[in-house]
Amino acid sequence: MKGFLGALLFSSFSYDSFARERALIYRIRYSSTIERTRVVLDCKGEVKKKDIKEKLVGRVLWLDVKNTGAVRKLVKRLRSPLVSEVKVLPISSNRVKVKLVLKSPHKFKVFGLRSSCGRPFRIVIDVFPDFLTLSCPVKRFPERVVVIDPGHGGKDPGAVWPIGSRHPIIREKDITLAIALKVRDYLKRVPGIKVIMTRTKDVYVPLLKRAEIAAKSCADAFVSIHADSMPNYPSWSGVTVFKASPRLFAKAERTAKEVAKRINLCSDVMCWSISPLLINMSTTVTFAESSRLAKDIVSSLKARVNEDLVNGIRDMKRNIVVLKTPGRPAVLIECGFLTNPTDRRRLVERWYQEELAQGIAKGIEKYLASLNKVAYER
Ligand SMILES: [Zn+2]
């Protein structure tokens, strides 16, 4: 299959030429984030590079491993957006087949890790979503694309009021969709701007799907819309615009892991922690661009809604899904707090949603227009 990474990278260790004993696979482990699923096969003894043959058949990745056994048949079902199941199947005493069932034909990489610091030898299979390496064409015509992402939806209601209620009277997913559709309707009337929505109905859209929509659309901006809940701070109110920060970059690995655990657990608290904010980690340009986008939205919200209602810009510091998507400035807007009586009352009102939507849309419009200016000046 074209474009696959299927490379064996065994350069990180050397082989003991006297090691004649066959290796033994005894455990399957895995970790999963939105940007990568890593399957690890723990082995007693080392497996040689030349002894592993890989083959992708449809959605199944096969590894044929020679001079290696397995303690028994091993099976692991994964909670991963990329891989559904891994099996280690002993064929004979010194031959093993490993079967990875992928959810769609993604890119993968297989390599070995030498035992060290008490850790065993490991065969590592990394699986990446195939859209991550997508490159966008340079735009000749200055049509600007923005992806609007109404948070939550379907089985994931987001924050609710009353908190913990099974039949809440207010659900974040309805508020985010209503505001997002109004933002879309405003921007659709602006020439030269194309709007792509991650959802337009009350449906559940997995994080990976949202990320894929943003990546494939080669968007100039990604705007995720949410509403917050802070049970311990009922006085907190107003709109907050979050942007990615370089500091976050450093913490990315850790936080992504933390978030992966919570992807299906939408709590009432800190809903932005599970939103698929897209960050480019390869250049600082995107951080600066995210900052500009956030500033334009905040100043427009202040003019449109109310100076006092807008809390300004904050850096995303923790618990955030991070994705390597080149050149995509992204912000996340918390439109208010369901735990604050005033915010709660107005967030469900059509007029207030309209005010917020206009404020957000005008900020996006200003930002996208500035991109064209830069392009012409060159
Ligand atoms: Zn949310």
Q: How many angstroms does the Cα of residue 177 sit away from the middle of ligand 1?
A: 11
For 242-301, what is each residue's pLDDT tens digit? Answer: 776 555 444 443 444 443 333 333 322 233 333 333 333 333 456 677 788 889 999 999
pLDDT at 120: 93
When pLDDT is cut at 50, 70 and 90, the band that residue 32 belongs to is confident
Q: How many angstroms does the Cα of residue 159 sit away from the middle of ligand 1?
A: 6
Residue with more model confidence, 178 or 21? 178
**Rounded Cα–Cα distance for residues 95 and 90 (Å):** 6
Task: Spell out the CATH class of 144-377.
Answer: alpha beta
CATH architecture of 8-13+20-128: Sandwich (2.60)
Q: How many angstroms does the Cα of residue 271 sit away from the middle of ligand 1?
A: 4
Q: How many angstroms does the Cα of residue 241 sit away from the middle of ligand 1?
A: 13
Looking at the chain, the domain(s) classified CATH 2.60.40.3500 span 8-13+20-128
pTM: 0.68
Q: How many angstroms does the Cα of residue 80 sit away from the middle of ligand 1?
A: 21
**Largest pairwise CA distance in the chain:** 77
Q: How many angstroms does the Cα of residue 60 sit away from the middle of ligand 1?
A: 35
When pLDDT is cut at 50, 70 and 90, the band that residue 134 belongs to is low
Q: How many angstroms does the Cα of residue 284 sit away from the middle of ligand 1?
A: 26
Average pLDDT of 104-109? 77
Q: How many angstroms does the Cα of residue 169 sit away from the middle of ligand 1?
A: 16
Q: How many angstroms does the Cα of residue 319 sit away from the middle of ligand 1?
A: 13
Which residues have a Cβ under 8 Å from the Cβ of 271 and sit 6 or more positions away? 151, 152, 158, 159, 172, 226, 227, 228, 229
Q: How many angstroms does the Cα of residue 278 sit away from the middle of ligand 1?
A: 15
Looking at the chain, the domain(s) classified CATH 3.40.630.40 span 144-377
